[in-house]
Structure 1
Amino acid sequence: MITFRTLAAADFSMLTDWLAEPHVRRFVQKTPMSLEEVTAKYGPRVRGEQPLICHIASLDGAPFGYLQAYRNRDWADYAQIMGHADGVSLDLHIGDPAFVGRGLGRAMLGGYVGEVALPHYAERRAYIAHDLDNAAALACSRSVGFKPLAQFLEDGEVKQLLRLEL
């Protein structure tokens, strides 16, 4: 059973390790981050200083993934780039390589959207964006019910935007 708990500062070492994994570096964190850099980036999120929620996904008590959700209108620059200020956007990755390729991405994303992200923000529309060549992530999101919507340019890379409406 997949459960979600709020990200804590005690998770930063684990998150640093996950962000260094080759499968995560390919699409999520392309440059290495030290523990100090992870603490600087994620510390404000843990302390509630930024308008987003962050969680660790666990399977039978074993942490394996990171997820975050945010209301698009709270991040105006990103909303403008992707072209949608309504709803909630999601970011996620399976960090522990032992959990990759086991179908857990679909369960993690589906559970998080329905149990955590949309209820937290009282929204009915969710967005997710992936690199065009991230076939596994695109298939995962589509399997949960996200539909391709548009492509947009972020930091010089073309992203596929998908939307889910409940």
Structure 2
Amino acid sequence: MVTPLYEFGKATTADLELLLEWQAPPHVSEWWDTVEPADARDLNDPRVDCRIVSLAGRPFAYMQDYRVHGWDNHHFLALPEGTRGIDQFIGEPDLLAKGHGSGFIAQRLKALFEDGAPVVATDPHPDNSRAIAAYRKAGFSESGPPQDTPWGWILPMEVRP
């Protein structure tokens, strides 16, 4: 059995300072909503599983997965019950463009499917070519045209087991 490369520790309020630090650089702030930075309420929302991703014990990214049916107006409501949505970013600039994004996404997808998710969906901004490439490499494909949502302009993407 191969040992997983990435660790997904539960994000806690002790991680808020690190998350704020990671959200500041342009490679994150351009795509991640920094108007309302993460707070304790976000980390304790029962609809969302917030994780700090580590490589060899070094925290370097944030990832969350959530119940798409937890919101009445979510753009993925037509997907089967149990579908999970994901969002993430790499906070440490020296680990960008090295395959880690698609790597930890793929590893987390495996766990979500093993836990019974029938579909995993994501919604990058249509201009975020780096994120879209990482999602494609992890197995996602576009599931519709770009669209405006309450969470902004998105490109719907999904993957099935």
Is the 2:79–2:119 contact (alpha carbons within 8 Å) kept by the matching residues of 1?
A: no
Runs of at least 4 residues off by over 6 Å: none
Equivalent in the alignment of 2:101: 105
Equivalent in the alignment of 1:159: 154
- Gaps spanning 5+ residues in structure 1: where? none
| In structure 1, C-alpha distance between the alignment counterparts of 2:43 and 2:76, rounded to whole Å | 25
| In structure 2, C-alpha distance between the alignment counterparts of 1:156 and 1:112, rounded to whole Å | 23
| In structure 2, C-alpha distance between the alignment counterparts of 1:125 and 1:61, rounded to whole Å | 30
Equivalent in the alignment of 1:134: 128
Equivalent in the alignment of 1:17: 21
Whether 2:142 is the aligned partner of 1:148: answer: yes
1:46-92 CA-partner distances (Å, limit 9, x unpaired): 33x431101010010000111111111112222xx345343111011
Whether 2:50 is the aligned partner of 1:46: answer: no
- Gaps spanning 5+ residues in structure 2: where? none
Equivalent in the alignment of 2:110: 114
Q: Offset of 1:109 from its aligned partner?
A: 0.6
| In structure 1, C-alpha distance between the alignment counterparts of 2:100 and 2:120, rounded to whole Å | 19
**What is the total number of aligned residue pairs between the two structures?**
154
Letter in 1 for 2:159: L
| In structure 2, C-alpha distance between the alignment counterparts of 1:158 and 1:46, rounded to whole Å | 24
| In structure 2, C-alpha distance between the alignment counterparts of 1:111 and 1:75, rounded to whole Å | 26
TM-score, normalized by length of structure 2? 0.86
Q: Offset of 1:30 from its aligned partner?
A: 4.8
TM-score, normalized by length of structure 1? 0.84
Equivalent in the alignment of 1:95: 91
| In structure 1, C-alpha distance between the alignment counterparts of 2:21 and 2:72, rounded to whole Å | 31
How has the CA–CA distance of structure 1 residues 156 and 104 changed in structure 2, closer, same or farther, with 3 Å as cutoff?
A: closer
Structure with the bigger percentage of helix = 1
